Structure 1
Amino acid sequence: MAEPAETPVALLGRNASMLRLLGLYQQKHDGSKVKAALLSAFSLIFLLHHPVFAAMKLYMDPPEDLVEFALCSFSFIISDGVFIKTAIFIADRGMLHQMLEVLSDSRRLYGREEASKRIRSRYEDLAERVLLYMQVSTMVASIGWLAAPLVSRALLAASGESGEVPRKLPLPVWLPLDVQASPTYEILYVLEAYTTTLTGLVTLCIDVLFIRLMLMVTAELEVLNYNVSTMAKGREKNSDDLYNRGHKQNMETQDFYRRDRALQMAETVYKHGSDFQLYQELVTNVRHHLIILRTVDLLEAAMSKSIIILLFINMGALCSNLLVVGVLLQAGGGVTRPLTLTAMIPFLLYQTGMFCVFGQLVTDQSEKLMISAFSCGWNESDARFRRSLLIFMAMVNRPLEITVGKTCKLSREMFLQVLNGSYTLFNMFYQVHSTS
């Protein structure tokens, strides 16, 4: 049965069922807490597979080849970051529940007209497209990573090289036994296929959830912008209707003096009534803005730790990959091997850029509130409305920004800082490598 559009779980979209299956989300009043805890523990245990085996490989049997060492290090950094991010996300689910409840109240109480529904529907469609794009990219990356050892072995066997072609696993593994012997190799390959798929799904679900919530906040800000900028239009329409009804009623009397006096009194009453209605609309919009501020605070609390870890890990992975690629290109020997590491860089940039771009959307919509308030037709309103509107404009003068780690703001500037930080670390390590 489909959930109502304003319920908290409906805000998760098609991602809700996968979040429940992985143990990442549980409804607040759901009675199956034990089941959710077991699913969460099950996911965390298998997510721990990659960092543990990669660390054992680096410590017990570090690869002598630079590319293999870089791939092993990359696997450890990324998989360890996914595990930590997931554990923090599960621990902070309470903030997520509160944020979804506040956001659902905002959608239920404010912006019920058709224009507001169209705005929210547009952002929901965008969130579904983002989910589809990221599903395809994650699936392609997972299949490519898992199939690479089999394809490489088949190509080497087809080339007719002498000797037995070694069997490789998708990810580095160290065990005190022969991992190429059957059935150990097959068991490890199936296990790595499952854990790689699970890692991709967990990363996809968490990233899409946070991006979707940022889009929902952006939609509420656009609805608020529309409601603030169109306050005077509703006032003019109501004033015209009231004036026409009063004029029609007064035309029915035969006394010209009485009719003229009644018309003047009606205009005064209708003007005061229209000003009061306009003031009430401003109060409603102020309350909507306050609930949006509360939503942003809860969203920051829910995603702060997870995303700051993601940004630093991606920056470190970018730095290490660029360093190894630079060393390989300097040493010569072709560009085939550096391309193996270079192919991972677009994924890291894509993942980091998505959060920064959608975080910038929230800031852009909040900056428009000042313009919307100024263009609402305040010049024809009474003094009380003007004073209240001035207070509202002072409130929205500071744009909303989603801050993670208490210092990093998700914006275009933050994306450039990540790139700049990666290049700075790369340059420092490269200079150390050149002088050693």
Structure 2
Amino acid sequence: MAFSWSTSGHSVLKLNIRQLCLFGMWPLCDSPLYNFYSALVLTLGVWNCMEGALAIGYSGADLEETTLVLANSFTTCSGLVKGILFVWYRPQYYAMAQRLNALVWAQSEACTTDTTLANILQNSRRRAARISLAMFLFLFLQAVVWFPMPLIAHPGERRLPLVQHYWAGNNSYYELSYIVQCCSANYLANVSFGMDCLLVTIMILVAAQLKVLTIRVAALRMEQADTELGVKQRLEGPPAVYQDRLYKDMCLCIENHQQILRFVKDLQRVMNPIAMTQFIFSVLVACVALFQATYFTSVDSSFCVPQSTDFAAVFQCVAFLPVPGGQVFLYCWAAQNVADEAQAVSTAAYSCSWVESSAAFKHGLRLLLCRAQKRLVLTAGYCYPIDRAAFLSLVNASYSYYALLGQMNRH
């Protein structure tokens, strides 16, 4: 079921849904004009990628210009691929958003009576909203750096912000080309970041649900029988009414745990191609941006003159370097939190009152333990685990390609 503008306001993904709606990905109305808008955004991305390919072909052996074009083209291609995947699998994203709302609601009753649990959910939603807003503002700052830079650093030279039209000398439709490049880069970058923030928000909320479940499982104790019956009667053994209550609470925890695991399985299926796309392009973008920012600003030892006079391009790449690393880090950090909180459920099960409980309670607890001890790992492309180790390996891969480009530049 699709969302409307009003129903999206009641979703835990409200900010992410409306952000994607703004940039043409998530329709909140049944209108052919919005479908045309989505097609126009993707067409701008295709046009930008074609411009980059032509520019690389016409620039010849100019490695400095090539790396600058590649940094933009890889970023645009990443947003284009992720946008196409989102449009293709829109019904799955609609269903996932609805199921996440149901998942949060399933434990809401327990959270209304416990301020600690309520704070966990509130803090997770605030953290997710802050990350999404911070990424949106960061992209706005990138636009301020990249788009007007040719007009500031090269006044009167008719340079374009991202890709130079070497085949026409930037003379044909200069103003239109300038606007199209700015629009395409801005839209596709926001689509890419919007998809990342959507998935990261989901993982943050799932980790919060697992944390709430962990506290509920650890709280399965007989303290209430102590206060209601007194210590003397409690030592003789809790009555069946308390055993039944404890067993029912444990069954609710098991049911919520199974719901979370089923949701994570669906999330895994939807997130796989998006995460893999981002990981590949992040490595490539980080490599070429770092190469542009270092090799073309090295200082000659005899004359102390920089090898490159285009300091605007260098500044652009230095300012852009946190983008690919930040996108990968968000995925790895959020997925690691999900894995850690899932592992904590099994630890919490050992802390409950299983020694004095009934046989049925112990049997159900064994089932919970067996499933919770199985590590919950999110992957990219069904083959690459997403965790802190993955972030380090991707950084190492970027540096390896960067070193290879450096060797090619020397020879």
TM-score class, shorter-chain normalisation, is 0.7 to 0.9
Q: Does 1:197 align with 2:186?
A: yes
Q: Aligned equivalents of 1:424 and 1:351: distance in 2? A: 19
User: Could you tell me which amino acid in structure 2 is paired with residue 217 of structure 1?
Assistant: V
Q: Is the contact made by 2:142 and 2:320 (CA closer than 8 Å) also made in structure 1?
A: no
- With over 3 angstroms needed to count, the CA separation of the structure-2 counterparts of 1:150 and 1:328, relative to structure 1, is closer
- With over 3 angstroms needed to count, the CA separation of the structure-2 counterparts of 1:350 and 1:413, relative to structure 1, is same
What SS does the corresponding residue of 1:398 show, helix, strand or coil?
A: coil
What SS does the corresponding residue of 1:377 show, helix, strand or coil?
A: coil
Q: Does 1:221 align with 2:193?
A: no
- Structure whose CA Rg is larger: 1
Q: Aligned equivalents of 1:89 and 1:189: distance in 2? A: 28
Please identify, of 104-113 and 124-133, the stretch whose mean Cα deviation from structure 2 is larger.
104-113
Q: Does 1:171 align with 2:143?
A: no
TM-score (norm 2): 0.87
* Partner residue in 2 for 1:249: none
Q: Is the contact made by 1:99 and 1:299 (CA closer than 8 Å) also made in structure 2?
A: yes
How much has 1:344 moved relative to structure 2?
2.8
Identity of aligned residues (%): 21
How much has 1:72 moved relative to structure 2?
1.2
How much has 1:384 moved relative to structure 2?
2.2
What SS does the corresponding residue of 2:147 show, helix, strand or coil?
A: helix
* Partner residue in 1 for 2:345: 369
Which whole-Å deviations, capped at 9, do the CAs of 1:292-346 have from their partners, x for residues lacking one? 1111111111121011111111112222334455544668342775555344322
* Partner residue in 2 for 1:66: 63
TM-score (norm 1): 0.82
User: Could you tell me which amino acid in structure 1 is paired with residue 149 of structure 2?
Assistant: A
1:414-425 → structure 2 map (5 Å cutoff): 414-425=390-401
Q: Does 1:272 align with 2:263?
A: no
- Pick aligned residue for 1:101 from 98, 109, 120: 98
How much has 1:178 moved relative to structure 2?
4.9
Q: Aligned equivalents of 1:10 and 1:364: distance in 2? A: 26
Equivalent residues, number? 395
Which whole-Å deviations, capped at 9, do the CAs of 1:56-110 have from their partners, x for residues lacking one? 1112x21554322210122222212211121112212222222222222222222
* Partner residue in 2 for 1:291: 259
Q: What 5-or-longer segments of structure 2 have no aligned partner? A: none
What is the Cα-based RMSD across aligned positions, in Å?
A: 2.9
1:305-324 → structure 2 map (5 Å cutoff): 305-324=273-292
Please identify, of 194-203 and 124-133, the stretch whose mean Cα deviation from structure 2 is larger.
194-203
* Partner residue in 2 for 1:128: 129
How much has 1:205 moved relative to structure 2?
1.6
What SS does the corresponding residue of 2:287 show, helix, strand or coil?
A: helix
What SS does the corresponding residue of 1:10 show, helix, strand or coil?
A: coil
* Partner residue in 1 for 2:144: 143
How much has 1:128 moved relative to structure 2?
1.1
Q: Is the contact made by 1:54 and 1:174 (CA closer than 8 Å) also made in structure 2?
A: no
Q: Aligned equivalents of 1:398 and 1:291: distance in 2? A: 16
* Partner residue in 2 for 1:378: 354
* Partner residue in 1 for 2:223: 236
Q: Is the contact made by 2:214 and 2:348 (CA closer than 8 Å) also made in structure 1?
A: yes
- With over 3 angstroms needed to count, the CA separation of the structure-2 counterparts of 1:141 and 1:63, relative to structure 1, is farther
1:34-73 → structure 2 map (5 Å cutoff): 34-59=32-57, 61-62=58-59, 65-73=62-70
Q: Is the contact made by 1:111 and 1:227 (CA closer than 8 Å) also made in structure 2?
A: no
Q: Aligned equivalents of 2:316 and 2:136: distance in 1? A: 22
How much has 1:186 moved relative to structure 2?
1.6
Q: Aligned equivalents of 2:71 and 2:154: distance in 1? A: 22
Q: Is the contact made by 1:47 and 1:79 (CA closer than 8 Å) also made in structure 2?
A: yes
- With over 3 angstroms needed to count, the CA separation of the structure-2 counterparts of 1:347 and 1:21, relative to structure 1, is closer
Q: Aligned equivalents of 1:425 and 1:224: distance in 2? A: 43
* Partner residue in 2 for 1:185: 174
Q: Does 1:357 align with 2:346?
A: no
Q: Aligned equivalents of 2:45 and 2:75: distance in 1? A: 11
How much has 1:175 moved relative to structure 2?
7.4
- With over 3 angstroms needed to count, the CA separation of the structure-2 counterparts of 1:148 and 1:329, relative to structure 1, is closer
What SS does the corresponding residue of 2:254 show, helix, strand or coil?
A: helix
User: Could you tell me which amino acid in structure 2 is paired with residue 408 of structure 1?
Assistant: Y
- Pick aligned residue for 1:334 from 281, 293, 306: 306
How much has 1:218 moved relative to structure 2?
0.8
How much has 1:360 moved relative to structure 2?
1.0
What SS does the corresponding residue of 2:157 show, helix, strand or coil?
A: coil
